[in-house]
Amino acid sequence: MPFHCDFNNRLMLGHLGNYMLNAADFHSRDRKFGFDYLTTIHRAWVLSRFAMEIEKMPKAYDKFYIETWVESAMRYFTKRNFKVSSLDGKEVYAYGKSIWAMIDTRSRQPQNILEVNDGLISDYIDKEYPCPIADVSRVIINDDLQKCRSMHPKYSDLDINGHVNSVKYIDHILDLMPAQTYKETPLKRFEIAYVAEAREGDVLNFYKEETPEAVNVKITKGDGEETETCRARMIF
Amino acid sequence: MPFHCDFNNRLMLGHLGNYMLNAADFHSRDRKFGFDYLTTIHRAWVLSRFAMEIEKMPKAYDKFYIETWVESAMRYFTKRNFKVSSLDGKEVYAYGKSIWAMIDTRSRQPQNILEVNDGLISDYIDKEYPCPIADVSRVIINDDLQKCRSMHPKYSDLDINGHVNSVKYIDHILDLMPAQTYKETPLKRFEIAYVAEAREGDVLNFYKEETPEAVNVKITKGDGEETETCRARMIF
């Protein structure tokens, strides 16, 4: 898809993230855990953490498929992994790991995943299929990051629930680095931990710290009193 | 694809535009006019004008297909149309019209389309297939629009050539209206005329005028001396 590629002729990470999350939804939907079924019982998945590791980004016209599977399910969290490969399976483009919670859409409170569909999710767990990247972490970062941008989320930033879209956060975080960075050094790992939801009226503040190992990012919402919405790490 | 939907549970216009342009590329690629072949002869397609008219935006999980065909080809311009329908063909979601020029990638000068592949494009013209929406216009607007935003294009705004992505312009233009607008009134028609290319270092200035019939937008690049990069109109 050339119109999903950056100036390196490679798929943009945000689009890859989008493809993975859509694959996750199709996979869970086929197993009675999709957003559309969950809505009818006032439940929704909330993405809590997400990590992607790139072996080699697909180029324009490279066909790939995405595998996704549930690695584990506990009361309040389930782990879902991803593998992106070429059609012949010979080339691995990327891996992904994610952690999801389930909430009640009225109270926004966490719900017991194992109570939905009588614990059916346990039937789909595959602990063995390999996803050889580091676990998705809480992304622990220092507290003295430099504020580098503030913005108001706009129409194209908002998801189906009117919250800032998980993937748009990824785009905004990548945009904190000059485009030139991505010409010189391919991004190896991107991980993000979502802490609180933000909406259209909120102001988002972006904080950044560059260390030799990584670029760390914290995003808060609020003007004056700030609450953390997410934190991320990019490893080049 | 739920992760491509807005808070109305409908596909976002930017994503629809992306799907159309990718369909255009696949269609022309199958006919020896794709970006990858053109690169080898130092040619590239440049999108000059683009209009989309929405009958009814697909909801999450609605499957659709995109038809695209060449309506005409002249020396310096070709017209390409789009139709987006449900899989059974009973429901039309949207139509699109576009005009493309071909440039030499070294000189950036317009090239004669009919000279490429010995005029092969003429074999693919379908004048009859209906695309019942108004022609894509030059988007004539007043000169006294109000400046409402300035921004620097960032990594996620840039396309394969390092220019601001045609579709990201669409997102930025939609974002000039409060998100609430799209809850209250569905967008009926969006059209855009691309005038000049912008790059990472440029500052983009957004000008807007709201009339009872439409929202008109002009985008310029430059600080002090400004050059128009595109103009657009949204009809609700």
Mean pLDDT on A101-128: 92
Q: At what angle do helices A13-29 and A166-174 cross, to 10 degrees?
A: 160
Q: Which residue has the higher pLDDT, A203 or A137?
A: A203
Please check the confidence at residue A40 and state whether its pLDDT lies above 70: yes
The most confident of the ranges B26-35, B93-102, B177-186 is: B93-102
What percent of chain A shows pLDDT beyond 90?
74
Contact A158 B21 (CB under 8 A): no
This model's pTM is above 0.95? no
Max CA-CA distance within chain B? 53
Please check the confidence at residue A175 and state whether its pLDDT lies above 90: yes
Which pLDDT does position B139 carry in this prediction?
87
The reply to whether A4 touches chain B by the CB within 8 Å rule is yes
Contact A160 B5 (CB under 8 A): yes
- Residue in the structure block whose two tokens are 């808060």: A220
Count CB atoms within 10 A of the CB of residue B187.
Answer: 18
Average pLDDT over chain A reads 92
Minimal C-alpha gap between B62 and chain A (Å)? 12
Report the residue of chain B nearest A165, measured CA to CA.
B3
Facing residues of B208 across strands? B146, B217
3-class DSSP string for B10-51: EECHHHHHHHHHHHHHHHHHCCCCCHHHHHHCCEEEEEEEEE
Confidence band of A94 (pLDDT split at 50, 70, 90): very high
Which pLDDT does position B214 carry in this prediction?
94
Which pLDDT does position A2 carry in this prediction?
67
Q: What is the dihedral sign for C-alpha B22, B27, B28, B29?
A: positive
Contact A35 B2 (CB under 8 A): yes
**Side by side, which strands form the sheet with A146-151?**
A64-73, A78-86, A92-104, A43-54, A189-194, A227-235, A215-221, A204-210, A146-151
The reply to whether B161 touches chain A by the CB within 8 Å rule is yes
Q: What is the pLDDT of residues B209-218, one digit of tens each?
A: 999 989 999 9
Please check the confidence at residue B169 and state whether its pLDDT lies above 80: yes
Which pLDDT does position B231 carry in this prediction?
96
Which pLDDT does position A173 carry in this prediction?
97
Which pLDDT does position A97 carry in this prediction?
98
Which pLDDT does position B190 carry in this prediction?
97
The reply to whether B130 touches chain A by the CB within 8 Å rule is no
Q: Helix, strand or coil for residue A116?
A: helix
Chain A residues in contact with B217 by the CB 8 A cut-off are none
CB A191 within 8 A of CB A49: yes
The reply to whether A47 touches chain B by the CB within 8 Å rule is no
Q: Helix, strand or coil for residue A67?
A: strand
CB A89 within 8 A of CB A75: no
Minimal C-alpha gap between A94 and chain B (Å)? 19
Which pLDDT does position A183 carry in this prediction?
87
The count of CB pairs under 8 A between chains A and B is 109
CB-nearest partner of A156 from B12, B61, B165: B12
Q: What is the pLDDT of residues B130-142, one digit of tens each?
A: 999 999 988 888 8
Average pLDDT over chain B reads 92
Candidates A22, A156, A164: best to mutate against B (most CBs of B within 10 A) is: A156
The most confident of the ranges A30-34, A80-84, A145-149 is: A80-84
Confidence band of B5 (pLDDT split at 50, 70, 90): confident
Which helix (DSSP H) or strand (DSSP E) does residue B181 occupy? helix B179-184
CB-nearest partner of B179 from A3, A5, A154: A154
DSSP B54-114: ESSPPBTT--EEEEEEEEEE-SS-EEEEEEEEETTS--EEEEEEEEEEEEETTT--B--GG
Contact A22 B2 (CB under 8 A): yes
Chain A residues in contact with B29 by the CB 8 A cut-off are 61
Contact B155 A177 (CB under 8 A): yes
- CA-nearest of B2, B197, B202 to A166 is B2
Minimal C-alpha gap between B13 and chain A (Å)? 9
Mean pLDDT on A88-94: 94
Report the residue of chain A nearest B9, measured CA to CA.
A160
Which helix (DSSP H) or strand (DSSP E) does residue B172 occupy? helix B166-174
Which pLDDT does position B82 carry in this prediction?
98
The reply to whether B174 touches chain A by the CB within 8 Å rule is yes
Contact B2 A61 (CB under 8 A): no
CB B165 within 8 A of CB A192: no
CB B49 within 8 A of CB B98: yes
- CA-nearest of A212, A209, A165 to A185 is A212
H helix runs in chain A, sequence order: 13-29, 35-40, 166-174, 179-184
Chain A residues in contact with B61 by the CB 8 A cut-off are 29, 36
For B20, phi and psi rounded to 5 degrees? -60, -45
Q: Helix, strand or coil for residue B176?
A: coil
Contact A160 B2 (CB under 8 A): yes
Q: What angle do CA B86, B90, B93 make, to 5 degrees?
A: 45
Which pLDDT does position B2 carry in this prediction?
67
CA distance A217 to A233: 6
Q: Helix, strand or coil for residue A221?
A: strand
Please check the confidence at residue B1 and state whether its pLDDT lies above 80: no
Which pLDDT does position A168 carry in this prediction?
93
CB B145 within 8 A of CB B176: no
